[in-house]
Amino acid sequence: MADLKSVEGMIDSTPIMKDYADIESSKLPEYQIDSKVPEGPLAEKWTNYKAHQKLVNPANKRNLDVIVVGTGLAGASAASTLAELGFNVSNFCIQDSPRRAHSIAAQGGINAAKDYQNDGDSVYRLFYDTVKGGDFRSREANVYRLAEVSNNIIDQCVQQGVPFAREYGGLLANRSFGGAQVSRTFYAKGQTGQQLLLGAYASLNRQIQKGQVKSYNRREMLDLVIIDGRARGIIVRNLVTGELERYAAHAVVLATGGYGRTFFLSTNAMGCNGSAAIQAFKKGAYLSNLAFTQIHPTCIPVHGEDQSKLTLMSESLRNDGRIWVPKKKEDAEAIRAGKKKPTDIPDEDRDFYLERRYPAFGNLCPRDIASRAAKERCDAGYGVGTGNAVYLDFKYAIQRLGADVVRDRYGNLFDMYQMISDDNPYETPMMIFPASHYTMGGIWVDYELQTSIKGLFAIGECNFSDHGANRLGASALMQGLADGYFVLPYTMQNYLSDQIKVPHFSTDTPEFDKAQKDVEDRIAKLMAIKGTKSPDEIHKRLGHVMWNLVGMGRTLQSLVQAIDELEDVRKEFYNDLRIVGSANDLNTELEKALRLEDFLVMAKMMAIDALHRNESCGAHFREEYQTADGEAKRDDENYMYVSCWKYTGDNEKPVLLKEPLKYEAIQVQTRNYKS
Amino acid sequence: METTISVNLKIWRQRGPKEKGQFATYHLDNVSTGSSFLEMLDMLNQQLVEKGEEPVVFDSDCREGICGMCSLYINGHPHGPVQGITTCQLHMRKFNDGDTITIEPWRSAAFPVIRDLMVNRNAFDQIQQAGGYVSFNCGGAPDANATPISKEVADVAMDSATCIGCGACVAACKNGSAMLFVSAKVSQFALLPQGQVERKRRARAMVKKMDELGFGNCTNTGACAAECPKNIPLSNIARLNREFVKAKCAE
């Protein structure tokens, strides 16, 4: 800590600090944040809102067009539900089918406050656990609403024919996830995301068949079109032909997922990107809490430089698996050198560090805590494998339950692990290590899920709203579907009700001309660089900078260094990028380059956000701010707010606005998973 | 322990659906046996790009065997020589140093080639649109535990619902039939109480659409189930046949 001051002194005099120091202008009236949280007691806000919001009558709905970008849980559920209501929906995805959006890869489950297990669950408890899990950095009213509608989601999905796991009596089964002391997670083997997405896809297909949704596959949004201050359309690139296409609507919904691939290696799919968020940012939408990126504790460790992505092993494994590293450093060294096997280490020489540090929650403590604890052990020299891995051991579960029960619960996950690692988890412990998985930060939205641009909405992972500084397991599916099925279809009408006299838009306007021209210029500029580095090479470099300096543990110094190094990566991109092929054709290299260009902007904003937040909370761990026993030290006095970054120009400093967080129904306290 | 191998690749390259394609051969050294098959292709593409050549186009997204985006006919097998996995889950440790690996796109009239190894599978979406759902609007569902479903039935429905829609069944079939794909979805709903009301209509509509789109007939060869990365069993096709006959009789 001794040289911290000098670093502070140093950065005060660099332009970096000033990048976000322009807080004065945020006091201007046009920069005031209105979260539109309804009045009244917390438990009645959503009911009151629904009772008093403006609606659009059925005859007018058919005159209104809505664009939904993305077909994951949030996008598909919103598109189908809006269409069921009678709006004309156009729905876009980059994959070859809406069914392939990355929600499909979610394994473990979806939370709901059904209390089917009679274990004391309630809407309030789900709400409380989510706010606490998020380390008191989420908006209370949004989270309460999420918990309220969670039960409707389960009903909806069962009616769609989602084959959730069941007990022998025929009722739905549940399991536990991190950060909860009740069993509230519904699941379909280790493929819950797949089954929920196929449910939403089925509802979407019904509306496509009816002609109420027009589905556009292999299309990537490249710009947002604003007319008279309102979001009115998008420019997309047809990924098969390379042609640019224009689409207009009364409102635009972004459901484009998170920016986890800023780290290059992550559990996200190859096509996941943060580009729509950056396009919205550049048109005036605020980006919030970007420093809150979730590093998932149970992923298969990195094997080498050619690796393209990391594979998650479901958090549900922590129900029965025990996490440990050797107690003795010499054992860890012997294992790394291949001289000992994990099965050679007797129980008394194993350090079950989560059970040791967090007795009350043990192996089921929240993700940020489990990830940091793994990193702490590995940094201290107790890691196994390459040194960056810990064990997740099923020996004890097999002793307790028998191999058949374990196979029934986790068989497909074990198979997946064996396929990738060539180890048999029934016989030897799995090796796991944390990896970038989910982004809590994202596009700022108000209570109605509207961004700071009128007529532009953001739902699912791409918004910032519900998970605060850390998301609990099985809550992403819940939020995506809550937004799409039960929140946006109501709240959007409050906006659309005053649009009923606005005729269908033409794409033949100067605004569309300009947006398309901007995209053409942008593509031409990248194609003209004709350097030597492929987009993937530069993206890997970006990933290294982000993982090493803006990853699980951040310091003032590392973040300052990151911003410096990001500038180098940016220069390399604009001076040495090489895109083979042509722009007016199918071109996967160009697709990667365009996404990478946006990741570069996102990366810098993440670093700035992490640098400005002088506290540790949830997944944002600033090493300077920790307690004596290594826990995150929040600064509620100075940082209990949502950071909202406003774009002011490519070479201008972003402006920081703040949405203060007020907790009325909950007592803010230090997170404690120990007792 | 992981090691590195060299492989020879024989890859189908085709500019567009109407253009003539041909095999191109490539040699690749220093492939880690711990790499996935698609990471090996990433390596090849990186080398092609360095030489200023256009990369081999192939589909992939989740790279963990669930999205169904990846395809590839590898050494005569959809998703390669290992049973029960997708191409993205195939690892190079399954190959030997010096092997020649032949890589082709899905070949089926209903899946035209877009470029190289990428094909158009929109026909699958169209079949689902014809009836692969329970018709109800969001908001009207009864409590999730109102209708008990036996664990056995739920488990079989889940096994059918596991289909990832990759199209390997069609690619494996000498007739280019989509019966396994269609039967998996029809089975899921035929088994569950929520699917009963539209059971007949669904079977008729999905089969009709499948026939319209140019998929071949099923001759019970069973290649589809043998090559399915999710091990969807052939019993689904038997169920679809029953469902379809019953639906036709009721007309």
* Interface touch B62/A269, C-beta < 8 Å: yes
The C-alpha atoms of residue B191 and residue B196 are separated, in whole angstroms, by 8
Tell me the pLDDT band of B1, cut-offs 50, 70 and 90. Answer: low
Residues B155 and B222 both lie in one domain: yes
Domain count along chain B: 2
Q: Residue for token digits 């998703």?
A: B79
* Interface touch B35/A304, C-beta < 8 Å: yes
- In chain A, residues with a C-beta closer than 8 Å to the C-beta of B192 are 161, 163
Per-residue model confidence (pLDDT) at position A9? 38
Average of per-residue pLDDT across A409-424: 89
A318-363 tens-digit pLDDT:
989 999 999 999 999 999 999 999 999 999 999 999 999 999 999 9
Residues B109 and B139 both lie in one domain: no
Q: B218 to chain A, minimum CA–CA distance in Å? A: 25
Tell me the pLDDT band of A14, cut-offs 50, 70 and 90. Answer: very low
A490-501 tens-digit pLDDT:
999 999 999 999
Cα angle B66, A90, A522 (rounded to 5 degrees) comes to: 85
Helix, strand, or coil here: A319? Answer: helix
Please pick, among A99, A184, A350, A367, the residue that the annotation labels catalytic.
A367
Residue of A nearest to B145 (CA): A171
Q: B62 to chain A, minimum CA–CA distance in Å? A: 4
The C-alpha atoms of residue A666 and residue A235 are separated, in whole angstroms, by 43
A31-61 tens-digit pLDDT:
789 999 999 999 999 999 999 999 999 999 9
B117-161 tens-digit pLDDT:
999 999 999 999 999 999 999 999 999 999 999 999 999 999 999
Tell me the pLDDT band of A411, cut-offs 50, 70 and 90. Answer: confident
Average of per-residue pLDDT across A168-172: 97
Q: Residue for token digits 């989910």?
A: A438
* Interface touch A172/B67, C-beta < 8 Å: no
Q: What is the mean pLDDT of chain B?
A: 97
Residues B62 and B159 both lie in one domain: no
Per-residue model confidence (pLDDT) at position A8? 40
The region, left, alpha or beta by phi > 0 then psi within -120 to 50, assigned to residue A617 is beta
Using the predicted structure, report yes or no on whether residue A23 has a pLDDT greater than 60: no
- In chain A, residues with a C-beta closer than 8 Å to the C-beta of B62 are 100, 102, 104-105, 269-270
Cα distances from B183 to residues A518, B123, B164, B178, in angstroms, run: 47, 15, 13, 8
- Number of inter-chain CB pairs under 8 A, A vs B: 217
Tell me, yes or no, if B142 comes closer than 8 A to chain A by beta carbon.
yes
SS3 of A394-437: the string is: CHHHHHHHCHHHHHHHHHHHHHHHHHHHCCCCCCCCEEEEEEEE
Tell me the pLDDT band of A26, cut-offs 50, 70 and 90. Answer: low
- pLDDT > 70 fraction of chain A, expressed in percent and rounded: 96
- In chain B, residues with a C-beta closer than 8 Å to the C-beta of A171 are 145, 148
Per-residue model confidence (pLDDT) at position A1? 31
Q: Which of A513, A602, A62, A27 is nearest to A289 (CA)?
A: A602
Per-residue model confidence (pLDDT) at position A27? 63
Residue of B nearest to A86 (CA): B137
* Interface touch A303/B34, C-beta < 8 Å: yes
- pLDDT > 90 fraction of chain A, expressed in percent and rounded: 85
- In chain B, residues with a C-beta closer than 8 Å to the C-beta of A257 are none
Residues B240 and B133 both lie in one domain: yes
Tell me, yes or no, if A380 comes closer than 8 A to chain B by beta carbon.
no
Neighbours of A303 (CB within 10 A): 18
Per-residue model confidence (pLDDT) at position A6? 35
Q: Please measure the distance between the N-terminal and C-terminal CA atoms of chain A and give it in whole angstroms.
A: 30
Using the predicted structure, report yes or no on whether residue A19 has a pLDDT greater than 70: no
* Residue in A98, A162, A534 nearest the CB of B49: A534
Chain B contacts in chain A segment 473-492 (CB below 8 A): 485-486, 489
* Interface touch A422/B93, C-beta < 8 Å: yes
Average of per-residue pLDDT across B13-42: 96
Helix, strand, or coil here: A445? Answer: coil
Tell me the pLDDT band of A306, cut-offs 50, 70 and 90. Answer: confident
Using the predicted structure, report yes or no on whether residue A4 has a pLDDT greater than 80: no
Using the predicted structure, report yes or no on whether residue A437 has a pLDDT greater than 50: yes
Residue B223 sits in a domain of what CATH number?
A: 1.10.1060.10
Tell me the pLDDT band of A25, cut-offs 50, 70 and 90. Answer: low
* Residue in A169, A172, A489 nearest the CB of B144: A172
Per-residue model confidence (pLDDT) at position A12? 42
Residues B86 and B171 both lie in one domain: no
Average of per-residue pLDDT across B220-246: 97
For residue B244, what is the enclosing H or E element?
helix B235-249
Using the predicted structure, report yes or no on whether residue A24 has a pLDDT greater than 80: no
Per-residue model confidence (pLDDT) at position A629? 82
Tell me, yes or no, if B97 comes closer than 8 A to chain A by beta carbon.
no
Helix, strand, or coil here: A598? Answer: helix
CB-CB contact of A105 with A290 (8 Å): no
- pLDDT > 70 fraction of chain B, expressed in percent and rounded: 100
Residues B134 and B205 both lie in one domain: yes
Residue A266 vs residue A31, higher pLDDT: A266
Per-residue model confidence (pLDDT) at position A28? 67
Backbone angles phi, psi at A527, to 5 degrees: -65, -30
Average of per-residue pLDDT across A202-231: 98
Residues B129 and B97 both lie in one domain: no
B92-123 tens-digit pLDDT:
999 999 999 999 999 999 999 999 999 999 99
List the domain range (segments joined by +) for residue B77: 4-114
Using the predicted structure, report yes or no on whether residue A181 has a pLDDT greater than 50: yes
Q: How many CA atoms lie within 13 A of B196 on its CB side?
A: 4
Average of per-residue pLDDT across A414-430: 93
CATH architecture assignment, domain A297-437: Alpha-Beta Complex (3.90)
Average of per-residue pLDDT across A264-284: 97
Residues B176 and B63 both lie in one domain: no
Residues B61 and B99 both lie in one domain: yes
Residues B245 and B163 both lie in one domain: yes
* Residue in A156, A168, A308 nearest the CB of B151: A168
| Residue A541 annotated to the active site | no
Q: What is the mean pLDDT of chain A?
A: 93
> Structural domain boundaries of chain A?
4-20+510-641, 42-292+440-499, 297-437
- In chain A, residues with a C-beta closer than 8 Å to the C-beta of B154 are 163-166
Residues B223 and B126 both lie in one domain: yes
Tell me, yes or no, if B64 comes closer than 8 A to chain A by beta carbon.
yes
B155-193 tens-digit pLDDT:
999 999 999 999 999 999 999 999 999 999 999 999 999
Distance of CA B230 to the CA centre of its chain: 9
Chain B contacts in chain A segment 551-580 (CB below 8 A): 578, 580
- In chain A, residues with a C-beta closer than 8 Å to the C-beta of B84 are 415
pTM to 2 decimals?
Answer: 0.96
Per-residue model confidence (pLDDT) at position A267? 96
Interface test with B, best of A158, A174, A529 (most B CBs within 10 A): A158
Tell me the pLDDT band of A15, cut-offs 50, 70 and 90. Answer: very low
Tell me, yes or no, if B188 comes closer than 8 A to chain A by beta carbon.
yes
Chain A contacts in chain B segment 190-249 (CB below 8 A): 192, 194-195
Residues B89 and B169 both lie in one domain: no
- In chain B, residues with a C-beta closer than 8 Å to the C-beta of A580 are 48-49, 52-55
Residue A675: partners with Cβ closer than 8 Å, 6 or more residues away = A359, A360
A350: β partners: A326
Using the predicted structure, report yes or no on whether residue A122 has a pLDDT greater than 50: yes
For A42-292+440-499, CATH gives 3.50.50.60
Q: Which CATH class is domain A4-20+510-641?
A: mainly alpha
Tell me the pLDDT band of A107, cut-offs 50, 70 and 90. Answer: confident
Per-residue model confidence (pLDDT) at position A413? 87
Using the predicted structure, report yes or no on whether residue B241 has a pLDDT greater than 50: yes
